[in-house]
């Protein structure tokens, strides 16, 4: 009897996937590059030099959305690390004030752009992505930890 129940569960699950698929599927599947391009249309981006000016002025929270091992290899001084894959689950604990001025970055800018888009959708009001990300910051010779 248990075996019949297990088989029935698998059949029903497979049938559900075959008939319905992803509930939020768009009309045209998108690549990662297309998703980033779409997010860029809705997110503010700042140059690395503008980010450095904000760093020097203070009053901005730098959010590194790379993986922890990337963060440990080097990051903008004082930046907090919340990986992109966990942003929705951890950001409200680490950044409860939705009026915080946040500058997001990743390695090159793609994950940062997607993260900034997510933060905006979650109600954060002052969010921008650093164009070029960590690589642009490091290449400019700006401070690192």
Residue 142 makes CB contacts below 8 A (sequence gap 6+) with 48, 52, 55, 76
Alpha-carbon distances of 97 from 50, 85, 117, 122, 125, rounded to whole Å = 23, 21, 17, 12, 10
pTM strictly above 0.75: yes
Phi and psi, residue 131, nearest 5°: -60, 130
More confident residue, 136 or 15: 136
Task: Answer yes or no: is pLDDT of 110 > 60.
Answer: yes
Calpha distance 1→22 (Å, rounded): 31
- Scanning 22-77, the segments in alpha helix (DSSP H) are 32-40, 48-57, 68-73
Sorted by where each starts, the structural domains of the chain and their CATH numbers stand as: 27-139 (3.40.250.10)
Residue-wise pLDDT for 44-91, tens only, equals 999 999 999 999 999 999 999 999 999 999 999 999 999 999 999 999
Residue 57: CA atoms inside 13 Å, Cβ hemisphere, count?
10
Tokens of 14: 């497979």
């Amino acid at each position: 009897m248990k075996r019949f129940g297990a088989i029935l569960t698998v059949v029903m699950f497979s049938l559900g996937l075959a008939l319905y698929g992803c509930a939020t599927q768009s009309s045209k599947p998108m690549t990662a590059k297309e998703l980033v391009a779409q997010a860029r249309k809705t997110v503010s981006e700042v140059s690395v030099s503008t980010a450095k000016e904000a760093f020097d002025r203070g009053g901005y929270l730098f959010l590194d959305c790379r993986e922890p091992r990337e963060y440990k290899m080097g990051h903008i001084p004082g930046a907090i690390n919340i990986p992109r894959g966990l942003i929705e689950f951890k950001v409200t604990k680490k950044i409860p004030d939705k009026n915080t001025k946040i500058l997001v970055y990743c390695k090159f800018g793609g994950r940062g752009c997607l993260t900034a888009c997510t933060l905006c959708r979650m109600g954060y009001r002052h969010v921008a992505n650093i164009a070029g990300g960590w690589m642009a910051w490091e290449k400019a010779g700006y401070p690192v930890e």
